[in-house]
Structure formats: C-alpha cells, structure tokens
Amino acid sequence: MKILVIVPAFNEQDCIDQVILDLKKTNNDWDVLIVNDGSKDNTSQVAKSTKKAKVIDLVSNLGIGGAVQTGFKYAERNGYDIALQFDGDGQHISTEIPKLIAPIISKEVDMVIGSRFAITHSGWKSSVPRRMGIFVFTILNRLLIRQRITDSTSGFRAYNKETIKFLSAHYPMDYPEPEAIILLGKNGFKMKEISADMKARETGTSSINYRRAIYYMIKVVLAILMTSIRPKIRKGVKK
C-alpha cells in the first residue's frame, strides 16, 4: 500500500526536521509531504534540508483547511491508498500511526481519528477551554450523525482512498476538523476513533484561551449546523 503522511506546517522551523525524521524512523516506506502554509520563518528550508520529505510551498497562508486539502489533492493525483494528517508542531507520535491505519487496511472503516479522550490516559492533556468545546462538539455529533466522536478537533487522522478523493474536492475551509466529521458522516463514510497518546506542543502556544473559547465555540457550532443541513454530495448513500 502507498501511504502518505500529510504535515501542514506554519512557522515550525524549530521542530519540523525532528517530525520528519521521527516519521521516517518509524517507517521509512511512508512518504512524507510537508505543506508549508506560507511560513514566515525557515520551515521550508529546514524541511528540505532533511532530504526525506516532499515540500509544497504555498505562496500565502491558507490556513489549516487549505493546507490539508492541498495534501489530499497531492495524494489523489499520485495514487495513494492511505493518507494521514499529522501535525508539524511535535504533538503527534509517529509510533501511534500503525494502529490508526489498521482499521483502514482491514476495510473496517473509511476514516480513523486519533483521540485524546476516547479513554483516560497519561501524557498530553488539552486546556480546559478546548475540552469544553470538544464536549459540545461530542453532543452535536451524536445528534447530527448519530456517532460518538470524542475528539472532533484532533488533527491526527487516517483516510482511505475513497475519502481522500472526496475530501480533495470538498474539504471544509473554516473549521475543518469538526466540520469534516459532520460532512463525512452525512455522506455515508464510516468513521472510528482510536485512543492515541500525544505530547504537549514542542514550540509555540495554543491560540485558544478562556476569552476566546465561547466565541470560538459559537462560530464552530454555527459552521457545523450549516454543514449538517447541506444536501448530500454522494448520491445513493444512506446517511
């Protein structure tokens, strides 16, 4: 199977080389694609210096949605069987990938989410505002697509070939992680969560704090509701 790891990166010069090297150390057969989302630092140069990853440089910052969709388009055009979304800030652990792709290889599901909250475990722990938002999204997922997804904002995901093709054309731009769950569920894709250990980010800080949490949740909830009422894109597939 051809497997591509898509790593969206914005100003990650301090850790992007280690992310690449860890991925290749875990499995040298995986192809790594760094989507440099208009970084102002040396992210692109550092990634290229490893000589172990393909780098696409976006001329301006498109945000996480545009960067990940670029990866899906690359994966589709190059015939990959599985694509993984993997953060460039050092939070995700490459040795967790095999358990994410196993249900896809066995054709059990179309997409797998690496969840920080599926079970209680030691290691990475998100902020209180982020956990509040995730609780709200969990309820919405149950109501709108009848699936229990505990970690809607997780950017650690694996996709099969059909899902890659679908998202290369229809990936949400505004709040892509939680919106994509509703979009895929509405269009008949099978999803599954698997507990995944994660680390604290190695550089930078989260943009979500107490002051922004309520504002963020309101905007995401509205985006999710809008996605849920749109007509199905895949014809002949039960919701």
Sheet holding 54-58, edge to edge: 54-58, 31-37, 3-9, 82-85, 157-160, 111-115, 191-195
CATH number of 3-229: 3.90.550.10
162: amino acid identity, one letter? E
User: Does residue 145 contact residue 182 with C-beta atoms inside 8 Å?
Assistant: yes
Q: What is the pLDDT along the chain (239 residues), one digit of tens a residue?
A: 999 999 999 999 999 999 999 999 999 999 999 999 999 999 999 999 999 999 999 999 999 999 999 999 999 999 999 999 999 999 999 999 999 999 999 999 999 999 987 665 445 455 666 667 778 888 999 999 988 898 998 999 999 999 999 999 999 998 999 999 999 999 999 999 999 998 865 554 444 555 667 787 888 899 999 999 998 998 655 55
Give the span between the Cα atoms of 114 and 141, in whole angstroms.
16
pTM (two decimals): 0.88
Q: Measuring CA to CA, which residue among 164, 159, 158, 140 is closest to residue 150?
A: 140
Please name the residues in contact with 61: beta carbons below 8 A apart, sequence gap of 6 or more.
10, 37, 38
